[in-house]
Amino acid sequence: MRSSVRMTRLVSSGCSRLTRLVKNTGSTAGQIIRAKSNNSINRGCVLSCRPNRHHHHHQQHQHPRPHRPGGATTMTATTANYMLATASRLASASSLPRWATLDPSSLGTSPVPHAVLNLVNGNWVGSETNLVIPNPMDRDAPPVCTIPDTGTHELGPFVESLKMVPKSGVHNPLKNVERYRQFGEISRKFSGHTTYSPILFFFTTTRPLPGESSPAARVRKKKRHDQAGEALSDPAISHFFATSIVKTVPKSYAQAAGEVRVTADFLKNFGGDNVRFLARSFGVPGDHRGQFSHGHRWPYGAVAIIAPFNFPLEIPVLQLMGALFMGNKPVLKPAEKCSLVMEQFLRLLHDCGMDRGDVDMLNCRGPVAERLILDADVRLTQFTGSSKVAEHLLEVTRGKVKIEDAGFDWKILGPDVDDVDYVAWQCDQDAYACAGQKCSAQSILFAHANWEGAGLFDKLRANASTRNLDDLSIGPVLTVTTKTMLDHAARLLDIPGSRLLFGGKELENHKIPEVYGAVEPTAVFVPIKEMLKAEHFETCTTEIFGPFQVVTTFADDELSLVLEACERMSHHLTAAVVSNDVEFQTTVLANTVNGTTYAGRRARTTGAPQNHWFGPAGDARGAGIGTPEAIKMVWSCHREIIMDSVVPGEWTQPKAT
């Protein structure tokens, strides 16, 4: 409590000092405030500012650069005004991480939205124009943030940054090997509870006013270091990221907090020596004395990560860290709607000791990212997202892409009915948590007829009816409009024998922007024999990235029809076989291919933690995530080095062949 009071006073004090500085000059936006060495601030910094072209007139600020003693301090009045507004928003906050540049509670409520920046060659920079990201919950509320709308003509620094990376990577088993341990330490060591605000960020680089104690000294006294993952596991920091996620990709707080926990556990897994263990080599004896072959895991060099919106922290962090662990220099292209989450995470990594030049972050539209990948000759791109974009990238890069694309994920309920309430709950979670916006979401449910007789469908309807916008157990769909989802339901209902189990309507009393989707959890029943007909199968197996599933039933003698449907599907990410009948389990598992498959009474399609592989199977281009095997497969290639050093003393030159 005392800490909270002290911080409020400190921010208030800083606001007062900056207010006096602004008012005493009588400056307006764009004018320059200069304080000579004998003024109240006698050792300062430069905050260079340039207006960006969007209607919020947010001022882009660079990191302060200390001047020599006695030098002048230069700061535009617009920067001072912006810092005052920001500090005022933060004054009531008891604690924010010292590296943070935003207050999650103000996202979508402040009239001055947070301005996300690009990162290139260690510098945070803006672009000529910005994209405004609307509040996904309220079309009448202020935007969540703005992001750089980087154009192709602004890609020069990004291309240069990536072209400086050799094909042998930043480190490898024979070069800069200390970096393996460095990244183990970065994963292990996070900065903890130090409170931060932009007003303190300015004053920690200045001397105090006469008679005042130094804010910088107070901040340094509060700084401490925690063990790996313990920073993300810390309630305050976990809350910071969970709230940021909820504000940008509305999902229940429990879902967002689970994403933070998985990310923290992943980082703990790769603390200490575990990063260099990823590059473990092996040796094989040769054909003669002095010959020995060594197999190494070798980086690609310059790589790119194109991350999705639905897990704005977990997916990009796990892929980003894997790329770094193996010695690559990645450029990260986050999803536009949620890039502020990774902006803040990169600031945390810098605070943990990662060199600012190790990662670039580019905010842009798809065609601009494609231009960068081609112009910079990116050696490998890891893409998570739609199959359409994945196929396009594979074509233009001549196959240099590892993909984790669409997942039309199935669940099969076997004939042995038991634990109906649990199975109904898990089916509801798999289909509708995060408004169905998971690549692992349950897209189709094959239920043995015994389950319908046990009342499963009634329980599914009852569970779905409890979901609401108040607790975000249902929420906006960010990539599929309401009309698209309802039109798809109508096409399914045109199939003979189909019926609406529940849903199929727009959410009531919502203010979700029209560019997004807002529908009730929906399930459409389609008879399995009709589903398998050529004229219906594509419609029935089209992925709708929202709270939508197809349901069917099968009899004892119709399991072959279920397996036929699974065989004909085009993407094979996750699946579930809900049965404790070993014979049934074995038959299904032996004749299917999905890369992450759960089996048993508690089988699910979603909720993949950090302790097992997650990724598709049956596709040579598939990318995994989360485990040592996934990291090595995606982010390194095999290199064989054969040592052959000893020429026998009795050697004589043979006849040429």
Find tokens 């289909």 and name the residue.
Answer: 431
- For tokens 């291309």, the residue is 159
Q: What is the mean pLDDT of residues 10-19?
A: 42
Residue 365: how many CA atoms within 13 Å on its side-chain side? 8
CA distance 33 to 556: 81
With contact defined as beta carbons under 8 Å apart, do 455 and 420 qualify? yes
**Any idea which of 159-163, 209-213, 379-383, 453-457 has the lowest mean pLDDT?**
209-213
Q: Which residue has the higher pLDDT, 413 or 198?
A: 413
Residue type, 281: S
Stronger pLDDT, 488 or 25, i.e. the higher one: 488
472: number of CA atoms within 13 Å, CB side? Answer: 20
Q: Using DSSP, state whether 146 is helix, strand or coil.
A: strand
Alpha-carbon distances of 302 from 19, 371, 376, rounded to whole Å: 46, 15, 8
Non-local (6+) Cβ contacts of 523 within 8 A are 431, 445, 460, 461, 464, 500, 501, 502, 503, 548, 549, 550, 551
Dihedral sign, CA of 268, 269, 275, 277? positive
Q: How do residues 625-651 score in pLDDT, each as one tens digit?
A: 999 999 999 999 999 999 999 999 999
Q: What is the largest CA-CA distance in the chain?
A: 94
Strand, helix or coil for residue 537: helix
Q: Look at residue 11 and give its three-state secondary structure.
A: helix
The upper half-sphere exposure of residue 432, i.e. CA atoms within 13 Å in the direction of its Cβ, equals: 28
Map tokens 């299917």 to a residue.
592
Q: Which of 167, 165, 125, 55 is nearest to 362 (CA)?
A: 125
Are 124 and 505 spatial neighbours (Cβ–Cβ below 8 Å)?
no
**Rounded-to-integer distance, Cα 574 and Cα 570, Å:** 13
Q: What is the pLDDT of residues 519-568, one digit of tens each?
A: 999 999 999 999 999 999 999 999 999 999 999 999 999 999 999 999 99
DSSP letters, 246-280, are: HHHS---HHHHHHHHHHHHHHHHHT-TTHHHHHT-
CATH number of the 409-599 domain: 3.40.309.10
Which tokens is 174 given? 């024979």
pLDDT of residue 33 exceeding 80, the answer is no
Residue 638, class by beta-carbon neighbours within 10 Å (0-12 exposed, 13-18 middle, 19+ buried)?
Answer: exposed
Mean pLDDT computed over 199-206 = 38
Mean predicted lDDT score pLDDT of the chain: 84
Q: What is the pTM of this model?
A: 0.81
The residue among 14, 382, 362, 400 whose CA lies nearest residue 157 is 362
The answer to whether residues 104 and 247 touch, using CB atoms and an 8 Å cutoff, is: yes
Q: What would the mean pLDDT of 122-130 be, rounded to a whole number?
A: 98
User: Which residue among the candidates 230, 343, 404, 543 is catalytic per the annotation?
Assistant: 404
Q: How far apart are the first and last CA of the chain?
A: 85
CB 122 within 8 A of CB 354: no
Tokens representing 500 are 């609406």
**Model pLDDT for residues 254-263, shown as the tens digit of each residue:** 999 999 999 9
Question: Which of 21-35, 340-354, 381-395, 583-597 is predicted least confidently?
Answer: 21-35
Q: What is the DSSP letter of 133?
A: E
Least confident of 219-223, 227-231, 538-542: 219-223
**What's the pLDDT band for 218 if we cut at 50, 70, 90?**
very low
Whether the predicted pLDDT of 622 surpasses 70: yes
Q: Is 439 in the active site?
A: yes
Q: Where are the domains of the chain?
A: 2-149+190-226, 409-599
> In a 3-state reduction of DSSP, which class is residue 20?
helix
Q: 389-431: per-residue pLDDT in tens?
A: 999 999 999 999 999 987 799 999 999 999 999 999 999 999 9
Instruction: Find the catalytic residue in 145, 352, 427, 439.
Output: 439
Neighbours of 39 (CB within 10 A): 14
Task: Give the per-residue pLDDT at 610.
Answer: 81
CB within 8 A of 369, min separation 6: which ones? Answer: 304, 306, 333, 362
Model pLDDT, residue 188? 82
Q: Pick the residue with more confidence: 284 or 28?
A: 284
236 burial level (CB within 10 Å; 0-12, 13-18, 19+):
middle
Per-residue pLDDT at 261: 92
- The Cα 277–Cα 274 span in angstroms is 5
- For 557-591, letters b (16+ CB in 10 Å) and e give ebbebbbebbeebebbbbbbbbbbeeebbebbeee
Closest CA to 567 of 536, 535, 597, 532: 532
Q: Report whether pLDDT(60) > 70.
A: no
Strand pairing class (596-599; 637-644): unpaired
User: Looking at residues 106-112, what average pLDDT do you find?
Assistant: 96
